[in-house]
A and B are shown apart, each in its own frame.
Chain A
Amino acid sequence: MPSNKSVSDAPITQFTNCRILRDHTLNREDLWVREGKILDPEKLFFDEHGFADERVDCEGSIIAPGFIDVQINGGFGVDFSKPSDDISAGLSLVSKRILEHGVTSFCPTLVTSPPAVYHKVLPQIQVQDGGPHGAGVLGLHLEGPFISVEKRGAHPEKYLQTFQSRGIEDLIETYGSLNHVSMVTLAPELADSQSVVRELCQRGITVSLGHSVANLSQAEDAVQHGASFITHLFNAMLPFHHRDPGIVGLLTSDQVPAGRTVFYGMIADGIHTNPAALRIAHRAHPSGLVLVTDAITAMGLPPGRHSLGQQVIEIQGLHAYVAGTKTLSGSIATMDMCVRHFKQASGCSTEEALEAASLHPAQLLNITNKKGTLDHGSDADLVLLDDDLNLRSTYIFGEEVWRKGV
């Protein structure tokens, strides 16, 4: 059938026989796409007298917005924090392979590293659209080096830094540049952090609290200055205490400015967080939960020893430890595994599980006008899933970029 010519010559695709996630519910509706964006079929019908050129039978699949991973350190043998000679090849490999997990946009994450590494790596990673070549890069997530020594986890102690009271200049000196940076994780109890938090937020960079021994009021103070995320809740922070809940207390804090939400990352791999703790967080603050993989180099690789930043880690089954210790060094669960595990462990609805991996990270990064939803006008980054939330295919800008079995 020829496409209607009144607004655009571009072909129109209609996904039929599917249930789509819209307005927090799964509805039996068709999904229409033109020029990589989700199209309003009613407007197409009445304004343009338009109709579909191509119909895709989804065989009863669920269609959800593509998953967004805001914390991923590498995978498939690639380590974003390692200053190799061909960083873009590594980035391309990861962005291509994570399509298999339903991730259509991500924030390549760098752990604490010396300035030389940042100066070498950062210029080679840019914000870019996804496509058949791989998931889109939303911007870098710089986790460290301005973090707490006691809660450094797998980060190397010798490269930790404190602020030198020059505000954002400290960061620019360490990182080299803040272009293409989406998020910075820091410990707010470090002296002179407030001006840094403020200045980062003014530049549109999300500030996340993590690897920190902050108490609740230090954390609330940081939120009031603009911090909006918690890096892997429960991990690398003080445990919840009933007289000082610490950073965890932000989930139910009454000091969060009106109209703002504090989001929190959850590694729902069944290892980093006990399911009961996951449920406590989810029930306390369901709308803030953001699923992250915190995936490391070894994700997608067989068991054994691999490198992460400036250290060596060891894989045993689904666990990844700092070699020779029992300190967790990151996760090797894939994003779709996290979505399934989260749903099963929390007992939440399918819609909530899918939103934790799509809508919530988009809200966190303030990009819901084009990512994280199936609203008209949004980028057509999609995942097709069966009822058990196993991935069937992945689309970016309306184009199929991965299909199971192919």
Chain B
Amino acid sequence: MKLIILNDYDQASEWAAKYIRNKILQFKPGPDKYFTLGLPTGGTPLGCYMKLIEYYKNGELSFQYVKTFNMDEYVGLPRNHPESYHSFMWNNLFKHIDIRAENTHILDGNAADLQAECDAFEEEIKAAGGIELFVGGIGPDGHIAFNEPGSSLVSRTRLKTLAKDTIMANARFFDGDLSKVPTMALTVGVGTVMDAKEVMIIITGAHKAFALYKAIEEGVNHMWTVSAFQQHPQTIFVCDEDATLELRVKTVKYFKGMMHVHNRLVELLPSENKKN
């Protein structure tokens, strides 16, 4: 794995956004060759999305030939509810960029047959040629998407009941009222994300530090599902200082020492230098 450690949330968001930008540009997407991107929701990726919007607005990046696949969606929440993940993606990314709706894919939590919806989602990913880069976050309980502790590390897209930790973490989006938070969600499986060519997990804040420690310094364990990515050939963890608080000093020093190498991944690409 690459562990990228930045000073604060804003810098971590910017690094992640630049990385995504560079991956898309290097891929040179076109009408016959879409770049497939897996996307998360929640507080963590907001800064990254704002930067991506900025890159679109100043002409550096286009989403015309990008296909997106979101990780999850609540079950039973109306699609236009302000806290649905459809609304989140529309308000925080889609409405600001040049992506076409038919190139976005978000699970439908109000489908008549939820498992069929999940199976169809897997088929859509396959039809798009698989995911080039899956971006995700981590829950305080170490989950990736809604793969709560105890989820199979080879799971596929399916219906999950949310853990208490997750419901509590989400309550802040529902006026602090636990009774208003949905209890079930459709989510990509750990296996689904593992199938991606590359995985980037953004982790910021001290409250995520213990989960990061469990995910990368302890063993692969279905109680901390992000740990599955220890077995993926191309994983990047993008963190701020606070998220590293539970790691060993040795781990942090090792990866900080590599930053001058890793930062090359986010430099402006040669064609852009010429433009500027």
Contact flags (1/0) for B83-100 with A, using CB distance below 8 Å?
A: 000110011001100001
Q: Count residues on chain A whose CB falls below 8 Å from chain B CBs.
A: 11
Q: Indicate if the CB atoms of A43 and B94 lie closer than 8 Å.
A: no
7 other contacts beyond A30-B95, A50-B101, with CB at 8 A cut-off? A41-B95, A42-B80, A42-B86, A45-B90, A49-B100, A49-B102, A51-B101
Nearest A residue to B106 via CB reads A46
Nearest A residue to B95 via CB reads A41
Q: Indicate if the CB atoms of A46 and B95 lie closer than 8 Å.
A: no
A residues apposed to B, CB below 8 Å: 30, 40-43, 45-46, 48-51
B160 at the binding interface (Cβ < 8 Å): no
Q: Indicate if the CB atoms of B100 and A46 lie closer than 8 Å.
A: no
B232 at the binding interface (Cβ < 8 Å): no
Q: Indicate if the CB atoms of B86 and A46 lie closer than 8 Å.
A: yes
CB contacts (< 8 Å) of A49 on chain B: these are 100-102
B79 at the binding interface (Cβ < 8 Å): yes
B residues apposed to A, CB below 8 Å: 79-80, 86-87, 90-91, 94-95, 100-102
Nearest A residue to B87 via CB reads A42
The 5 closest A-B pairs by CB, nearest first: A49-B101, A42-B90, A45-B101, A49-B102, A46-B86
Q: Indicate if the CB atoms of A45 and B80 lie closer than 8 Å.
A: no
Complex alpha-carbon distance, A30 and B97, angstroms: 13
Nearest Cβ on chain A to B9's Cβ, whole angstroms: 22
Complex alpha-carbon distance, A49 and B100, angstroms: 7
Nearest A residue to B102 via CB reads A49
Report which of A42, A43, A48, A50 forms a contact with B95, defined as CB distance below 8 A. Answer: A42
Known: A30-B95, A41-B95. A46 touches B102 (CB 8 A): no
Nearest A residue to B98 via CB reads A51
Nearest A residue to B96 via CB reads A30
Main secondary structure of the interface of B (DSSP, over half): helix
Nearest Cβ on chain A to B101's Cβ, whole angstroms: 4
Complex alpha-carbon distance, A48 and B101, angstroms: 8
Complex alpha-carbon distance, A189 and B100, angstroms: 64
Known: A30-B95, A42-B80, A42-B95. A51 touches B86 (CB 8 A): no
The interface centre, meaning the residue of A48, A49, A50 with most chain B CB atoms within 10 A of its CB, is A49
Report which of A30, A43, A50, A51 forms a contact with B80, defined as CB distance below 8 A. Answer: A43
Nearest Cβ on chain A to B112's Cβ, whole angstroms: 17
Q: Indicate if the CB atoms of A51 and B100 lie closer than 8 Å.
A: yes
Nearest Cβ on chain B to A29's Cβ, whole angstroms: 9
Complex alpha-carbon distance, A43 and B90, angstroms: 10
Nearest Cβ on chain B to A276's Cβ, whole angstroms: 40
Report which of A41, A46, A51 forms a contact with B79, defined as CB distance below 8 A. Answer: A46
Nearest A residue to B90 via CB reads A42
The interface centre, meaning the residue of A30, A45, A49 with most chain B CB atoms within 10 A of its CB, is A45
Complex alpha-carbon distance, A45 and B89, angstroms: 11
Complex alpha-carbon distance, A220 and B81, angstroms: 41
CB contacts (< 8 Å) of B100 on chain A: these are 49, 51
The interface centre, meaning the residue of B80, B91, B101, B102 with most chain A CB atoms within 10 A of its CB, is B101
List, sorted by A's number, 22 A–B pairs whose CB atoms are closer than 8 Å.
Answer: A40-B80, A41-B90, A41-B95, A42-B86, A42-B87, A42-B90, A42-B91, A42-B95, A43-B80, A45-B90, A45-B95, A45-B101, A46-B86, A46-B90, A46-B101, A48-B101, A49-B100, A49-B101, A49-B102, A50-B101, A51-B100, A51-B101
Nearest A residue to B101 via CB reads A49
Complex alpha-carbon distance, A41 and B80, angstroms: 11
Nearest Cβ on chain B to A134's Cβ, whole angstroms: 34
Complex alpha-carbon distance, A46 and B94, angstroms: 10
CB contacts (< 8 Å) of A40 on chain B: these are 80
Nearest Cβ on chain B to A358's Cβ, whole angstroms: 24
Nearest Cβ on chain B to A296's Cβ, whole angstroms: 46
CB contacts (< 8 Å) of A41 on chain B: these are 90, 95
Nearest B residue to A42 via CB reads B90
Complex alpha-carbon distance, A30 and B102, angstroms: 21
Nearest B residue to A32 via CB reads B95
Nearest B residue to A51 via CB reads B100
Nearest B residue to A40 via CB reads B80
Complex alpha-carbon distance, A58 and B212, angstroms: 46
Nearest Cβ on chain B to A58's Cβ, whole angstroms: 16
Nearest Cβ on chain A to B68's Cβ, whole angstroms: 13
Complex alpha-carbon distance, A50 and B101, angstroms: 7
Complex alpha-carbon distance, A43 and B81, angstroms: 12
Complex alpha-carbon distance, A171 and B101, angstroms: 57
CB contacts (< 8 Å) of A50 on chain B: these are 101
Nearest Cβ on chain A to B66's Cβ, whole angstroms: 15
The interface centre, meaning the residue of A46, A48, A49 with most chain B CB atoms within 10 A of its CB, is A46
